[in-house]
Amino acid sequence: MTINREKFSSQADPELLKAARDLAGKQGRQFQSVIEEALQQYIARYATTAPRKEVLDALGLSIAEYDLLYSKLAK
């Protein structure tokens, strides 16, 4: 399967770009995949008012572990 890509140009803080390139290298990934993932996460975070899945997952774990404490605090 071929993924269609569009080239674009932008500017960023040189230190931020270096950190992203270093991270990509350490992970054995291409720089563009790190940037694409960052854009996806940014859009997922701000494009909707619905809670993010990781937030709901963390809430579920917290309730499972501390349900008795939460019930006592609610009284």
Place of tokens 């499972």: 64
What per-residue confidence (pLDDT) applies to 45? 82
What per-residue confidence (pLDDT) applies to 53? 86
Domain positions in the chain: 14-74
Place of tokens 């494009």: 47
In order of 2, 48, 64, the CA distances from 25 in angstroms are: 23, 32, 38
Place of tokens 């997952």: 57
Q: What average pLDDT score do residues 65-75 get? A: 92
Q: Residue 28, by phi and psi: left (phi above 0), alpha (psi -120 to 50) or beta? A: left
Per cent of the chain over pLDDT 70 is 99
What per-residue confidence (pLDDT) applies to 59? 94
Tens digit of each residue's pLDDT (9 = 90 or more) over 5-35: 899 999 999 999 999 999 999 999 999 999 9
Q: Which two tokens stand for residue 24?
A: 């990509």
